[in-house]
Structure 1
């Protein structure tokens, strides 16, 4: 189970070279219930990454966000936490979905990435979430 799917919680990309991923990296050394992770943004113009710590409750909030996206609602994930937040706007400024990564508490940088995910992206991300939770949450509880 330790394959790429158990590592990548979010993987949104298009054929223009734009992508936003959230990768689980391993148990946080400072908090046994935390999963070290990173948000990685890649575009032809700008690329960057920022670390964060995920908990089981943040993963459950991602499940709720996927449910809202599935019924056509925009979402903000991790909006009130320290560290980055991720917004998904289904109809962005360029008439396509946009992923907005904000790091207000750290670098104070916001990156807006327009991209058109595949039709089955929500089902794919539900599967990714199940795999991440099955792989990491038992380790975080131990």
Structure 2
């Protein structure tokens, strides 16, 4: 497949300097059906990152999460699985959308990031997901 691999699966940011992203780093050297990725949190107050494994079913569940967000529902993505979880609350504790990243099985740390994503962010993330799946899934399946 030509071109460079897509890097950002998720990129949520606002004008206040708050950002949550999931970056695809490449195929996992230890698992042919998986991708190495990372969740990155950057705010004026706190920054951090945590490793994440992605695979086809997890990418498909992100598509379902985007459908629920578009329908006006909060989502819990990767909840109850090994590794970190990501929650998107459309009306958070501070009256605006919030992203919550939890790393219960690793560091036992969670962080809540209030941010207002730009208009069209769900469509943008559908396109990001399509690029990631078009590029990586054929390599993971074969």
CA shift, 1:37, in A, is: 0.3
Q: Distance in 2 between matches of 1:80 and 1:60?
A: 16
User: Which of these residues, 2, 5, 19, is aligned with residue 4 of structure 2?
Assistant: 2
4+ runs of 1 displaced by more than 3 Å?
Answer: none
Paired positions, count: 140
Residue 52 of structure 2 corresponds to 52
Residue 16 of structure 1 corresponds to 16
Are the aligned partners of 1:98 and 1:114 in contact in 2 as well (CA < 8 Å)?
yes
Residue 89 of structure 1 corresponds to 89
CA shift, 1:81, in A, is: 1.1
Q: Distance in 2 between matches of 1:134 and 1:7?
A: 13
Q: Distance in 2 between matches of 1:139 and 1:58?
A: 16
Q: Distance in 1 between matches of 2:134 and 2:4?
A: 10
Q: Deviations over 1:4-30 (max 9, x none)?
A: xx1100000001110000010000011
1:112-131 to 2 correspondences below 5 Å: 112-131=112-131
CA shift, 1:36, in A, is: 0.3
Q: Which residues of structure 2 form unaligned runs of 5+? A: none
Residue 32 of structure 2 corresponds to 32
Q: Which residues of structure 1 form unaligned runs of 5+? A: none
Residue 62 of structure 1 corresponds to 62
Query: Secondary structure in 2 aligned to 1:45?
Result: coil
Query: Secondary structure in 2 aligned to 1:39?
Result: strand
Q: Distance in 2 between matches of 1:36 and 1:112?
A: 24
Q: Distance in 1 between matches of 2:90 and 2:106?
A: 26
Q: Distance in 1 between matches of 2:123 and 2:4?
A: 20
CA shift, 1:2, in A, is: 1.8
Query: Secondary structure in 2 aligned to 1:100?
Result: strand
Query: Secondary structure in 1 aligned to 2:111?
Result: strand
Instruction: State TM-score, norm by structure 2.
Output: 0.96
1:65-84 to 2 correspondences below 5 Å: 65-84=65-84
Instruction: State TM-score, norm by structure 1.
Output: 0.96
